[in-house]
Structure 1
């Protein structure tokens, strides 16, 4: 009996010791995470309205950081990071950063693919990066406005105008948001890159960003600015064909729709995005090149509009020539390019 009591006391003592050590470890982890959150708030200028919101955001932040740390322990070709979206749930991220549920009209007349269709893939360069040719303006930030469609269309327009005129001009997304309102496009609530091209053509061009600066909100159209860039027309890349997309990107920056709503896209920090993702075409970006990394993985190079603290200083690489004809995250499903 005495032996049994002694054994019981020993077991209880060890359990108490384990619990106290475990509790201390959890407390230290939380204190460390709190310090990390405070540093992150300072870095991104995040201010919460009250203590309750800060507590809630801290819990979301903690969950996301643990997901990032777990994800990055795997053997993958890309990695995640604690970026400006680290205190958002994925549902919140989708609601604020992607195309806000905009569904374009599917009944459209095909434009044709005449400019590059007869080019042989064998004649294309193995690597293209339009940044090195001076056809890409610095990374921009759409903020809390679902205006990715405007940034994608403007990036493609800036590229072809530079290739046509020799001058790189930063054009106004805000003019599209405020003035392209008589068709499907709906400012911060979403839009379509092809419709944006049509507006630029009918409008006689776009003015410079410095004339009509970005406000990250819907505004009233301000007319009377001189156009700094004009377009003649645009064409669509045949759907579900990465080869045809490659032909177009080899010759100019191209607007591309993509599924940009999952956690790995939200928290992407670098490397070549690989694996599975959806084809909910909810985000517009610009394809500005392609290449192959040192391990032999082929990739597309994209310009995003979420600032320089997301991805590779604002850019994204995504696996190229995958078995799915739609391309990684649907990048080959809906691409188009303007003609100047």
Structure 2
């Protein structure tokens, strides 16, 4: 799917807000349509957030209002003159470390990959997921915060499936070092120019 594009734009939107105190919505569709090819992403057939950060670093990204989401692969209609921002750089957060992911979250939202094909994730409505999902990464999401609920540390994650899924589109994934759902496997965070 195109989840990777939502994870990417969410992280870039957060980085842009931190740097410029301006909340903009960036175009997932531009990434789906234009960031394709050898050593790039695959539109609605999947992608990797770090590759999308590379694309935005080179080409920039338009606002959602200028390049709206269509939920399907299309021809690239990128207009460089309408690029709203560029990624200055990005870095991978030290994997398998809840403390490092929390430190990165103090800078802004973090793009992460998780395993989302298990019932614990698919049918989530409340609480903290601590078991029942594996670590075979198949879904890109955005980690936006962390906390503790009933003594259980968690990471607050925004999914791309809309507000009718989970808890208004969010899920709490266990924040222990056991790497629940693979959340600690591939975190990365961009910086805005």
TM-score range with shorter-chain normalisation?
over 0.9
* 1:285 CA displacement: 0.4
- Could you tell me how far apart the structure 1 residues matched to 2:118 and 2:19 are? 37
- Could you tell me how far apart the structure 2 residues matched to 1:271 and 1:207 are? 36
Aligned partner of 1:154 in structure 2 is 9
Q: Is 1:245–2:97 an aligned residue pair?
A: no
- Could you tell me how far apart the structure 2 residues matched to 1:301 and 1:199 are? 27
Q: Is 1:217–2:72 an aligned residue pair?
A: yes
Match of 1:234 among 75, 81, 90: 90
What is the TM-score with the length of structure 2 in the denominator?
Answer: 0.95
* 1:318 CA displacement: 1.1
- Pairing of 1:67-146 with structure 2 (within 5 A): 146=1
Q: Which aligned segments of 4 or more residues in structure 1 are displaced greater than 2 angstroms?
A: none
Flag the structure with higher helix content.
1
Q: Is 1:258–2:114 an aligned residue pair?
A: yes
* 1:211 CA displacement: 0.7
- Could you tell me how far apart the structure 1 residues matched to 2:124 and 2:47 are? 24
Larger radius of gyration: 1
Listed one character per residue, the Cα deviations across residues 28-50 of structure 1 (whole Å, up to 9, x for unaligned) are xxxxxxxxxxxxxxxxxxxxxxx
- Could you tell me how far apart the structure 2 residues matched to 1:193 and 1:172 are? 14
SS at match of 1:334: coil
Aligned partner of 2:24 in structure 1 is 169
* 1:319 CA displacement: 1.2
SS at match of 1:289: strand
- Could you tell me how far apart the structure 2 residues matched to 1:167 and 1:227 are? 15
* 1:255 CA displacement: 0.2
Listed one character per residue, the Cα deviations across residues 96-120 of structure 1 (whole Å, up to 9, x for unaligned) are xxxxxxxxxxxxxxxxxxxxxxxxx
Aligned partner of 1:4 in structure 2 is none
Aligned partner of 1:338 in structure 2 is 190
What is the TM-score with the length of structure 1 in the denominator?
Answer: 0.55
Q: Which runs of 5+ in 1 are unaligned?
A: 1-145
- Pairing of 1:47-58 with structure 2 (within 5 A): none
Flag the structure with higher strand content.
2
- Could you tell me how far apart the structure 2 residues matched to 1:195 and 1:155 are? 15
- Could you tell me how far apart the structure 1 residues matched to 2:96 and 2:68 are? 36
- Could you tell me how far apart the structure 1 residues matched to 2:40 and 2:21 are? 32
Aligned partner of 2:47 in structure 1 is 191
What is the aligned residue count? 190
- Could you tell me how far apart the structure 1 residues matched to 2:129 and 2:78 are? 41
SS at match of 1:269: coil
Aligned partner of 2:143 in structure 1 is 287
Aligned partner of 1:312 in structure 2 is 167
Cα RMSD of the aligned pairs, angstroms, is 1.1
- Could you tell me how far apart the structure 2 residues matched to 1:290 and 1:227 are? 32
SS at match of 1:270: coil
* 1:230 CA displacement: 1.5
